[in-house]
Amino acid sequence: MDSLPTCYGKGKILTLQVSADQEPFNVVIEAAHGIWSHSVNLLVKVLENDANIEVTDKLVFLKLYDRRFSPAFRERWDVKPWTPALEEDLLAFSQIGAAREVLDIWRDSPHTEYDFSAPSYHKETLLSVIMSEEWEKENDAYRVLKAHQGKFIPRMICSVMMQIGPVSMVGTEPIPLLDDPLVLGQSPEMFEIDGFLMEYYPGFPATKIACQTDPSDWKHLKNRVIATVGHVMESDTILHEDIRPKNVVITYDKECLRNHRVIMTDFRCTMMRDTETDEEWAEMKKRYDEKGMMEAKLENPPRRRQEGDGYRSYTASAWWNFDDYDIMTQD
């Protein structure tokens, strides 16, 4: 996105909920990642501990699958940029019950074709469930890879939900959970944003190893990155379809080899084994070959910056590039 929405500005307070039977809790935004494509990425502090979350007043990473501010998904599914007027149309669509029919058909009929000629509010309805499905995929990945959490992948503190309300009520601001969700019509789940609260690891992406470390460390860290990907993805129940160096973070850790820990992030593009036979699954794992893919992408490292060089362009990773926030000096 070219600019961040004001509802996710620094100092804004968001109300989150872990599950329906637990009390909501508040977080305050400390920084917003400046480049969003598929999800909203924030650094936040938990202000309350009503949900028994052991991170009160600690900087953590919040990832929200907010359909409104996901330009990559909106472009893929041919949905116009979000506007308050579109949200009002979506609310009306929910209140008359028409959205419920659209959602039920999509969920109950996996082979239903997406109607690219449908009105914007119809597409927005489908986008709400598509975003939830994307969240479920990443949630499944963290569940399957739980043994690696806090070691080679981020520790997931909890999955969360945030409710947004009709623009006529609150503008674009997130709202406290409504006592009567039917205010949002017969499909209130369209106004619920799924997400994750995770431990945050300040550092730099694998794309910048050569620029951020001594020359003697480049080969060592490159091999560590490749080995980490191979170790994490050796599971016979999951494969990663889009391994990228920018989604591997190198973070300082004095207890690790050469004071660096390698952390894989972003498991949105993963697939779980379903009904595939051993032969079929082996062929799929061979085709994607996560370890080999990472090795190939790291084969030609970026040139180390010399005195007088201009800045080299890098694709930002949600884990390290936060505007106006010195993440490298945080405790």
In this structure, what are the phi and psi dihedrals at residue 153, rounded to the nearest 5 degrees? -135, 160
148: pLDDT strictly greater than 90? yes
Q: What is the chain's mean pLDDT, rounded? A: 83
Rounded percentage of the chain residues whose pLDDT exceeds 90: 55
pLDDT digits (tens, 9 = 90+) for 12-39: 999 898 876 778 888 999 998 766 788 9
Q: Tens digit of pLDDT for each residue in 95-123? A: 999 999 999 999 888 778 899 999 999 99
- Which of 33-42, 155-164, 174-183, 292-301 holds the top average pLDDT? 155-164
What are the structural domains of the chain?
Answer: 6-199 (no CATH), 204-317 (1.10.510)
Vertex 144 angle, CA 263 and 256, to 5°: 25
Beta bridge partners of 29: 44
Dist. CA 213–CA 4, nearest whole Å: 31
Inter-residue contact 238 to 270 (CB < 8 Å): yes
**162 has which bridge partners?**
193
Give the tens place of pLDDT for each residue, 240-255. Answer: 998 999 999 999 888 8
Q: What predicted TM-score, i.e. pTM, was given to this entire model?
A: 0.84
Count CB neighbours of 265 within 10 A. 20
Beta strand ranges found along the chain (DSSP E): 13-16, 25-32, 40-46, 59-64, 156-163, 192-199, 204-205, 238-240, 248-252, 260-264, 270-272
The conformation of residue 178, written as its DSSP 8-state character, comes to P
Going by pLDDT thresholds of 50, 70 and 90, the confidence category of residue 52 is low
pLDDT of residue 184: 82
Per-residue pLDDT, averaged over 252-280, amounts to: 91
